[in-house]
Amino acid sequence: MPLPANARVLVAHSLVRDVQAVHEFLVAQDSTSAEHRQALLLQQLNEAREQLGWNPALGRPARCMEARSAKGAQLAARVAALAATHKVPHVRELVLKPYVLLYAHSDKEVVLLALKHERQQMFKLE
């Protein structure tokens, strides 16, 4: 697959909600370092956005799409439906230590869907 000149990168409302939830958690955990850690996360997200614009298939196949539990299958169905509404068929995830970024893409468009901490079991797409 040749690299596109510049894939369009969009942000879903669910990702905005997740970033806000991370900030609230960081403040509750340690208010003195929360702003610095939030700034690092935003920097990682910005770098990921730039990289995915040039190479949408950069991440690994999304593990949540291979879930075997009933709850996991429900999440996979929600992810697939959200990707389908944006007309981006491929679902992948990109590790942004200690977070995992869920996104869907085609050759010309990337939609950033959700963010979770690596210790969380599932993405929240409600």
Tens digits of residue pLDDT in 92-103: 999 999 999 999
| In the chain, where the domains are located | 8-117
What pLDDT digit, counting tens, does each position of 40-84 carry?
Answer: 999 999 999 999 999 999 999 999 999 889 999 999 999 999 999
The domain 8-117: what is its CATH number? 3.30.2310.20
Tell me what the mean pLDDT of segment 105-110 comes to: 95
Q: Strand 8-11's sheet: what is its strand order?
A: 8-11, 109-117, 99-105, 90-96, 60-61
pTM of the model: 0.91
Give the pLDDT confidence score for residue 121 in this predicted structure: 80
Q: Does the pLDDT value for residue 126 go beyond 80?
A: no
Cβ contact 102:113 at 8 Å: yes
